[in-house]
A = this chain, B = another copy of it.
Amino acid sequence: MERKSQSITIADAAGFLKKNDNYYILTHMNPDGDAMGSGFGLCHSLRAMGKKANVLCSDPFPKRYGFLYEGYEPMKFTPQTIVTVDLADTGLFGRELQVYGEYVDLAIDHHISNTGYAAKLLLDANAAAACEVIYQVLKEGNMPINKQIAQCLYTGIATDSGCFRYENTTPKTHMITAEIMGYGIPYARLNRQLFEIKSKARFMVEQYVINNVETYLDNKCAIIAVTADTVKETGLAQEELEGIASIPMQLEGIEIGVTIKEKEPKKYKVSMRSAENVNVSDICGKLGGGGHMRAAGCTVEGDLSQVKLKLLSVIAPAMGFDLWLS
């Protein structure tokens, strides 16, 4: 889709939100902490101004973020204003929300990749989270910010920045967080819930990875394979295996982490993560896949041992090792 949005400022967005009413606030499918935080942060503030507003998502709101929508019930009204938050592309609306794709009045986002599907776009690609942008809008417009709203915004910023660990964290992220903390949120308890507590299933997945990871190339490359048999044996659900790619990256000295999952007999889906220096998008590109510099993927066919060799024959030279397979 061609970019068609009119770019607007924080002050414009605040003015727009104060002027209009009867809001549907849409966020992306598989909502994460920032989608939930920016959606409900904005919704609670609009409702506190006496306006009508609902948050809509194609997927159910995760229970994990239940504290963000405590006491929230959808209201009945005819929508007049459609706003999206943290939503880069109509492809991420999901099935339920697709009907709104052509009618979005305002998109508030932090993804440089925003396709410009909305009439107006407030985009800050330097913001660590959509919640950083929402906070600035609420502040600029003197719109209500209470403890629950601050909790929403903190959650979005903390989760999208890896609790202030990732590259996307800026001095401004910390300044905004300092202001948000001023509303008396129980940040230590939130952080424990968001970053420390793991389900038993997650512990089991980590245990599986720790017990089964193989390292190659001077222990700089970690490979973890999940076959159809292992899924059967461990009883782990596909969903529980989602975050597996990042686990071997925690091992000291690992520069590339590779996860190989059996999709069908002799066909493996490969996810690659890079710590810093190696471009895994290049590596996966050579195998017919692609992605980003530090996270990419491809599909490789063959027996598991063949797949590993194919992968290592491309990874080794990219990491500066002599090509030991010809």
Contact = CB atoms under 8 A, between A and B. Distances in A.
A3 interface: no
A19 interface: no
Contacts of A196: 165, 249-250
Contacts of A164: 163-164, 177, 191
Contacts of A172: 178
A102 interface: no
A188 B163 CA distance: 11
Contacts of A192: 165, 275-276
A188 B167 contact: yes
Interface stretch (A38-46, A67-75, A140-148, A202-210): A202-210
User: How many copies of this kind of chain does the complex include?
Assistant: 2
A164 to B, nearest CB: 5
Interface stretch (A9-17, A179-187, A233-241, A314-322): A179-187
Which size class do A's interface residues fall under?
Answer: 35 or more
A241 to B, nearest CB: 17
A170 B181 contact: yes
A166 to B, nearest CB: 6
Nearest to A219: B200
Considering the complex of A and B, which 8 residue pairs feature the smallest CB-CB distances, nearest first?
A174-B178, A165-B191, A171-B178, A167-B188, A174-B174, A171-B181, A175-B178, A174-B177
23 contacts: A164-B164, A165-B188, A165-B195, A165-B196, A169-B187, A170-B181, A171-B177, A171-B181, A173-B178, A174-B174, A174-B175, A174-B177, A174-B178, A175-B178, A178-B178, A197-B250, A197-B252, A198-B250, A198-B251, A200-B252, A203-B250, A206-B206, A207-B211
